[in-house]
Amino acid sequence: MNLFFLSWKNLWARPGSTLLSLLLLVLGVGLISFVLHFSEKLENNLIRNAKGTDLVVGAKGSPLQLVLSAVYHIDNPTGNILLADADTLRMHPMIKQSLPLSYGDSYQGFRILGTDTSALRWYDAHLKAGRVWGKSLEIVAGASVAEKLGLEVGSVFFSTHGLVSGAEAHEDAPFKVVGVLAPAGNVLDQLLLTDLSSVWEVHEHEHPEGEEAPHQITALLIRCQNAFGILAMPRQINENTRMMAAVPAFEISRLMKLLGFGAATLRGLAWVILVVSAISVFISLYTSLSSRKYEMALMRTMGGIPLVLFAMVLFEGLWLTLTGYAAGIFAGRVGMIFAGKVIDKQYHYSFTGMPWLKAEQKLLALVIVIGIVAAALPAWQAARTPISETLADA
């Protein structure tokens, strides 16, 4: 017999109210943990993929849409821009580096991105097998696409028009995989890279015979020489050209503000649930006392000092909140795994690794405080059970 065992047993002698309190704790802790992990992963992903891209230039439309499509590859493009216009812009003295992008087709739901071979340097990616593309219709597959679709050097496939799988296939222009990338930890992992000219070749038949259509691309990623460029260029581009410039950093912070509101709402709800769970722990312990009064007196007759009774009830509160915390942290991770599956399926982004976050460690301290505060009054009440009166009343 010891204090921990006794408290634990007492807790489960009243399974109904114990389970109710646990459920509330799991809900509160789980929700907080889930929101913490989710927003952390989301923010990490957004920031990591935008790293090094100061500006995105594309067709006029929604700047957020342009950033989502050109940087994260999760939205539709705003339209196309003329290659000639883009090439002129690339000569601008404030630009340090730029990367043309052409997209709109996909294979099995994974996007095909036409670009030039400097993309690998831009995204800090390295080949795991094969070589980079040398001519049109050659493909270098990102690490997770290659793994999920089982692509390897030598594989051949037909792209589909548009960004959803199952749409019309371009059956006259087969793509051939010539290289596979090592995991880069960014958006490149879920893309199929090819030359800009591949996209033009696949879509050539869409123009009337003999008419030479001007080459188009979808967007241009830009790295500026300095911060002044980031501030000055968008205005110049938006006012003087048929194109639009968007600043990813600015668009992300706007997006995070919008999402942050949702996260704050969920977190607020979680705090309310935590408060309710604290009340439930208190009520559960307090109401159990009246039926356990005789037990308490009995323990006193067997030599139990008031401090032991106090500690026993206090530990019942602590056991409850600590078990709730552990189960809640576990539930939050299970939730993340499911959310990760959905996001992987929809956007091909994978969320991996769930460390014990600092904020979760603080939550543990808070939960311990909740347990102590909720149990303190019932514990004190138990400690001062009058022995003689209680025994005589029975």
Partner 1 sequence: MLRTKDLTFSYQPETPGFHFPDFRVAAGETMLVLGESGKGKTTLLHLLAGILRPSAGEVWVGNIGLSKLKGAQLDRFRGRKIGLMLQRPHFLPALSLEENLLLAPWLAGVSQNETRMNEIAERLGILGLMHKKTYQLSQGEQQRATLARALINKPDVILADEPTSALDDKHCDSVAALLKEAAIVTGAALIVVTHDNRLKRLFRNHLTLS
DSSP single-letter state for residue 214: P
d(CA 299, CA 387): 9
DSSP single-letter state for residue 234: H
387 binds partner 1 per the rule CB under 8 A: yes
Least distance to partner 1 from the beta carbon of 381, Å?
17
Least distance to partner 1 from the beta carbon of 350, Å?
46
Residue 143 or 383 having the CB closest to partner 1: 383
Residue 70 or 312 having the CB closest to partner 1: 312
Question: Token pair of 136, please?
Answer: 């049109």
Residue 57 or 383 having the CB closest to partner 1: 383
Least distance to partner 1 from the beta carbon of 301, Å?
5
Q: Are 351 and 339 contacting, i.e. CB atoms less than 8 angstroms apart?
A: yes
Residue 227 or 302 having the CB closest to partner 1: 302
Least distance to partner 1 from the beta carbon of 279, Å?
23
d(CA 66, CA 219): 8
Q: Applying CB under 8 A, which part among 57-65, 291-299, 353-361, 366-374 lies near partner 1? A: 291-299
Least distance to partner 1 from the beta carbon of 295, Å?
5
169 binds partner 1 per the rule CB under 8 A: no
Q: Are 255 and 46 contacting, i.e. CB atoms less than 8 angstroms apart?
A: yes
1 binds partner 1 per the rule CB under 8 A: yes
Q: Which of 164, 227, 342, 394 binds partner 1 (CB under 8 A)?
A: 394
Q: Applying CB under 8 A, which part among 32-40, 170-178, 215-223, 292-300 lies near partner 1? A: 292-300
290 binds partner 1 per the rule CB under 8 A: no
Nearest to 58 by CA among 187, 166, 219, 178: 219
Q: Applying CB under 8 A, which part among 2-10, 148-156, 202-210, 241-249 lies near partner 1? A: 2-10
Residue 103 or 310 having the CB closest to partner 1: 310
Q: Which residue has the tokens 């891209």?
A: 53
Q: Which residue has the tokens 């000092």?
A: 305
Q: What are the residue ranges of helices labelled H in the chain?
A: 3-12, 15-50, 63-70, 83-90, 119-122, 143-149, 196-203, 227-240, 248-301, 306-347, 358-383, 387-393
16 binds partner 1 per the rule CB under 8 A: no
Q: Which residue has the tokens 């539709």?
A: 76
**CA distance readout (Å), 257 to 193, 202, 236, 251, 252:** 32, 40, 27, 10, 8
Please list every residue from 295 through 354 that binds partner 1, using CB under 8 A.
Answer: 295, 298-308
Question: Token pair of 68, please?
Answer: 């989502």
369 binds partner 1 per the rule CB under 8 A: no
349-369 in b/e form (b: 16+ CB < 10 A) is: bebeebeeeeebeebbebbee
- How many chain residues are in contact with partner 1, going by CB under 8 A? 25
Residue 16 or 134 having the CB closest to partner 1: 16
Residue 55 or 311 having the CB closest to partner 1: 311
Instruction: Count Cβ atoms below 10 Å from residue 115 Cβ, excluding itself.
Output: 24
Least distance to partner 1 from the beta carbon of 329, Å?
27
Q: Applying CB under 8 A, which part among 36-44, 113-121, 209-217, 293-301 lies near partner 1? A: 293-301
**Residue numbers at the binding site for partner 1 (CB under 8 A):** 1-2, 6, 9-10, 12-13, 294-295, 298-308, 387-388, 391-392, 394
